[in-house]
Amino acid sequence: MQSDCCIDVADAFAKRFGRAAVAVAVAPGRVNIIGEHTDYNDGFVMPAALDLETRIAFAPRDDGAVRIYSDVVGEEVQFAFESAAREKLPFWALYAWGVGMSLLERGITPSGLDAYVETSVPQGGGLSSSASFEVAVAIACLGDKWTALDKLDLARVARRAENRYVGTQCGIMDQYSIVFGAEGHAVMLDCRSLESRLISFPEAAALVIADTSVRHVLGESGYHERQEECARANSVLSSSLPGVKNLRDVNMPMLEGKKNILGDAVYRRARHVITENARVHEAAAAMTAGDLARLGALMSESHLSLRDDFEVSCRELDVMVESAAGLPGHFGTRMTGGGFGGCTVSLVDKSSAAAFAGALRERYQAAARLQAATTIVRPGGGARLAKPRETGNA
């Protein structure tokens, strides 16, 4: 059955462009349950797609032009993929243009189109709003032929857009989990082999996402600095330890042996990656066993490592984590996403989720003097193409 949200965006398209949308490209956001800053180190992650979505109602154009309106920023942009001048596009439109250019690199000519974009994924909150937008744009550009592109290639196209055309050197976790997500499951992903398996999310649990209201832009934050520090650690370790290609190949005794030549900061960055990879494996086992207490404890340990060793947290994230501790039904909380702001994710007993979310907002406001938005979620399905209704405006 077509969702009301897809009907709404198709109606909004018809009102703006004066014709019917042929379909709606839908791509979820994602929450990373555990495994932060390990993806670009060939490590392990365990994200889940969300039931928060980017939806793009669209209809193809014969002239190759792109007209795309974003309800998020209230702006329409017009361009052609091959002839667009990068410097003349607003930042948000670079993602759409980059997707088309990434498709062209693969020998696929994207369709011109009219498109109307809306989303329920918080912007800049660490829930992959940009990757969600990229994947939805790719599906819209391909239309009914989108399934002819291998799912992994679809994720790679979206990641390429962000790496080359936007300039954020992210790993593939975000795009991969958005494409491969499955309702009621987390995705355990090996970022080196790009092999994954689905793990059933416990029925008795829910995830509560809490938005600190503090925003970051990855390209202007310490994200790239952390990547460079990990690269320096890898350079030292791979040049002196046999069999080491990346930090995922290093264990703690190996790292301790090189501590003096790495320097304190680089050593701690590497320590986070090594211990976080181990936590992901433990968390997968705990989730499989339905051991919510252990899974929550690992999430809390992950936050401490991100705060102290990787130094990508901030006061507001820490206050949110501290505010969650001890609330009824709470198992564990951590920051999620690149850091320096955004959201936390808490593992809670499903029956206590609403009460937990309300108490968390109150505690956070009292401690941080800021309003927090909370959303109760469970893992949702992956990206898809939805057909608008046959009646009405669409």
C-alpha 382/C-alpha 19 separation (Å) is 28
Cβ within 8 Å of residue 310, ≥6 positions away: 36, 37, 226, 268, 269, 272, 339
124-183, pLDDT tens digit by residue? 777 889 999 999 999 999 999 999 999 999 999 999 999 999 988 888 999 999 999 999
pLDDT in the model for residue 358: 98
Q: Are strands 112-119 and 66-70 parallel, antiparallel or unpaired?
A: parallel
Question: What was the pLDDT predicted at 394?
Answer: 36
d(CA 312, CA 335): 9
Angstrom distance (rounded) from CA 345 to CA 379: 12
Residue whose C-alpha is closest to residue 149's, from 119, 179, 120: 179
* Length of the chain (residues): 394
Q: Angle 220-280-262 (CA atoms, 0-180°, nearest 5)?
A: 60
| Higher-scoring residue by pLDDT: 338, 152 | 152
| Arithmetic mean of pLDDT over the chain | 93
List Cβ<8 Å contacts ≥24 apart for 188-197.
188/44, 188/45, 188/46, 188/280, 188/284, 189/39, 189/44, 189/45, 189/46, 189/47, 190/44, 191/38, 191/39, 191/40, 191/41, 191/42, 191/43, 191/44, 191/45, 192/42, 192/43, 192/246, 192/248, 194/152
Q: Which residues are catalytic?
A: 174
Mean pLDDT, residues 93-118 taken together = 95
Supply 356's token pair. 């937990």
List the domains of the chain with CATH numbers: 4-200+380-386 (3.30.230.10), 205-377 (3.30.70.890)
pLDDT at 88: 86
Q: Tell me which DSSP letter residue 106 carries.
A: T
Among 334, 374, 29, smallest CA distance to 212 is for 374
Query: pLDDT digits over 42-97, tens only?
Result: 999 999 999 899 999 999 999 989 999 999 999 999 999 887 677 789 999 999 99
Q: Could you tell me whether strands 343-349 and 330-336 are parallel, antiparallel, or unpaired per DSSP bridges?
A: antiparallel
Helical packing angle, 129-142 and 151-160, nearest 10°: 120
Assess whether pLDDT exceeds 50 at residue 390: no
Distance (Å) of CA 138 to CA 56, 58, 98: 10, 12, 10
CA distance 79 to 85: 8
Encoded tokens for 107: 């020998």
**Burial tier of 264 (Cβ tally within 10 Å: 0-12, 13-18, 19+):** exposed
What are the tens digits of pLDDT across the range 227-265? 999 999 999 999 999 999 999 999 999 999 999 999 999
Sheet holding 343-349, edge to edge: 330-336, 343-349, 205-211, 373-377
Rg over CA atoms, the chain: 21
